[in-house]
Structure 1
Amino acid sequence: MSTTVTSTETREDTSPLSGHVPTAREVKKAKKLQAGGSRLGATAFILPAYFFYAGFLLVPLLLTFLLSFTSWNGVGYNNIPLAGWANYMRLAIDPVFMTSLWNNGVFLATSMVLKIGLAFALALMLRREFPLAGFFRATFIIPSILSMIVVGVILKFLFHPSNGIINPLLQSVGLGQFVGAWLGDPSRALPILIGLELWLGFGLSLFVFLAAMSSLPQDVFEAARVDGAKPWQETWYVTIPLLAPTFRLVALLVAIDSLKVFGTVYVATSGGPNHATEVVATWAFFQAFTANQVGYGSAIMSVLIVATLILAVFYARSIHKHQKEAERR
Structure 2
Amino acid sequence: MRQKNMQAYLFLSPFLVFITVLYILPAILTVIMAFTSLDSAFIWKFNGINNFRKILMDPNTPIIAWNTVKYVGITIFLTVVLDLFFAIMTTYFIRDERKGNIFKSILMIPMITPGVVYSVLWLWLLEATPNGLANKVYMALGGSEPLNWIAQYPFVIIIAATLLTSIAYGTTVFSSAVKSIPENQFRAARVDGAGEWEIVRNIILPNLRFHITFIALWETLGLLTNYVTIMLITNGGPGVQTEVWALSAYHKAFSDSQYGYGAAISLVLIVVVMVLMLVIGAVMHHQEKSRS
TM-score, structure 1 as length reference:
0.81
Provide, for residues 141-180 of structure 1, a one-character-per-residue CA deviation record: whole Å limited to 9, x for no partner: 2211112222112212222212533223321232336x32
Contact 2:214 2:284 in 1 (8 A): no
Partner of 2:24: 58
Provide the residue aligned with 2:112 in structure 1: 145
Equivalent in the alignment of 2:143: 175
Contact 1:97 1:283 in 2 (8 A): no
1:214-272 per-residue CA deviation (whole Å, 9 max, x = no partner) reads 22233333322232222111111121111111011100122112212311111111111
Q: Give the paired residue count.
A: 288
Match of 2:126 among 156, 159, 162: 159
Q: How far 1:102 sits from its partner (Å)?
A: 1.2
For 2:76, give the aligned amino acid.
M
Query: How far did 1:317 drift?
Result: 0.4
* Percent identical residues: 27
CA offset digits 1:32-52 (Å, max 9, x no partner)? 79xx85x66765554433332
Structure-2 separation of matches of 1:111 and 1:88: 28
Q: Give the equivalent residue in structure 2 for 1:73.
A: 39
Residue segments in structure 2 that go unaligned for 5+ positions in a row: none
The 1:174–1:46 alpha-carbon spacing in structure 2 relative to 1, beyond 3 Å, is farther
Q: 1:263 pairs with 210, 228, 243, which one? A: 228
Q: 1:1-21: CA deviations, max 9, x gaps?
A: xxxxxxxxxxxxxxxxxxxxx
Match of 1:96 in 2: 60
Match of 1:25 in 2: none
Tell me how far apart the structure 1 counterparts of residues 278 and 144 of structure 2 sit (CA, whole Å): 50
Cα distance change, pair 46–238 in 1 and its aligned pair in 2 (3 A): farther
* Cα displacement (A) at 1:74: 4.1
1:297 to 217, 240, 262: 262
**d(CA) in 2 for partners of 1:75, 1:147:** 34
How far the C-alpha of 1:106 sits from its partner, in A, is: 1.1
Which one of 87, 101, 105 corresponds to residue 134 of structure 1?
Answer: 101
1:322 paired to 2:287: yes
Per-residue CA deviations over 1:48-80 (Å, capped at 9, x if unaligned) read 33332222122212211111111110433xx31
- Secondary structure of 1:234 counterpart: helix
Contact residue 288 and residue 297 of structure 1 kept, 8 A: yes
Would the aligned equivalents of 2:67 and 2:243 in 1 still touch at CA under 8 Å?
Answer: yes
Give the residue type in structure 2 aligned to 1:323: E
- What pairs up with 1:1-329 in 2 under 5 angstroms? 43=9, 45-76=11-42, 79-128=43-92, 129-130=95-96, 132-162=99-129, 163-176=131-144, 179-185=146-152, 188-327=153-292
Q: What displacement does 1:112 show? A: 2.1
CA RMSD, aligned part only? 2.1
Work out the CA distance in 2 between the residues paired with 1:274 and 1:159. 19
1:120–1:157 distance in 2 versus 1, CA, 3 Å: same
Which TM-score applies when normalising by structure 2? 0.90
